[in-house]
Structure 1
Amino acid sequence: MSSSDTTEPRQTPAEIQAEIDREQRQFAETLDALEEAARPGNIARRQIGKAKERGSRLVDEARALVLGGGAVRLDSRLVEPEEGSIVVKGDEEVITTYQSRGRLPPEAVVLAVGIGTVVAVGVVAWAVRRKRK
């Protein structure tokens, strides 16, 4: 018999048990992370944060379009999650880059103040008229 004919175990039972224990700990940590991510309160918090972020982004873009000043969106891209992180559907992050257009011309400011005044007077007149009826 040559030495290649004999088979020796590659790992001792203690090493196998240690590997099993490591895998079980890692599995338990993964389950805990999934449980934390799947809690309704945490999901709601993430979704509210995303809605606020999207809303503020839309407001910035609308302001830039309406006023002709403010910021202009240059680029939007998805950010890949960190390796090993747990991603729930819809958890992508969008990074948007803006560039300032500069100051508003005085005519635009006067126009915006005028429109705001007309709207405020109209709302007050409507409220007074409604109260009289």
Structure 2
Amino acid sequence: MAAGDTEPRRTPADIEAEINREQRRLAETIDELVVQAKPANIARRQINRVKEKGGRLVDEARALVIGGGAVRVESHLVEPREGSILLKGDDEVVTTYQSRGRLPPEAMILAVGVGAVIAVGVVALIVRRRRA
């Protein structure tokens, strides 16, 4: 040891062992990235995301129409854990819901009226296209 050195010198075997550990760690990280980047896995994540968002929209629509259930109040992104690997679009969203009371009768009548107008319009459009 030199006069200014306070740490013991590393042997070539120690350095080689450290290099091997780092190579294994990097290989595991690359394997994880390969699995996450497979088109089938990306598609599966996107399908699950669409199902989740669609389910939320259906729940919110149902809550607006029948007056029960819950309505989304607020959503925010959750920061990933330190050292985690996220691909674009893999953000985690936390949503807060609030239960609703029943809608007033006027809102129900309006919703039924709008639905009836839309249904009549669709039927008229179909009949018109068949005649043409």
TM-score when scaled to structure 1? 0.69
Identity %: 64
1:105 shift after superposition: 6.4
Q: Distance in 1 between matches of 2:45 and 2:4?
A: 59
Decide whether the 8 Å contact of 1:78 with 1:93 is kept in 2: yes
Decide whether the 8 Å contact of 1:64 with 1:72 is kept in 2: no
Larger radius of gyration: 1
TM-score when scaled to structure 2? 0.69
Q: What SS does the aligned partner of 1:88 have?
A: coil
1:73 shift after superposition: 1.7
Please name the residue that 1:40 is paired with.
Answer: 39
Q: Distance in 2 between matches of 1:41 and 1:9?
A: 50
Please name the residue that 1:69 is paired with.
Answer: 67
Once superposed, what is the RMSD of the aligned Cα atoms?
3.5
Q: Distance in 1 between matches of 2:47 and 2:64?
A: 26
- 5+ residue gaps, structure 2, are 127-132
Match for 1:67: what amino acid? V
1:74 shift after superposition: 1.8
How many residues are matched? Answer: 129
- 5+ residue gaps, structure 1, are 128-133
Structure 2 residue 79 is matched with structure 1 residue 83: no
Q: Distance in 1 between matches of 2:4 and 2:104?
A: 89
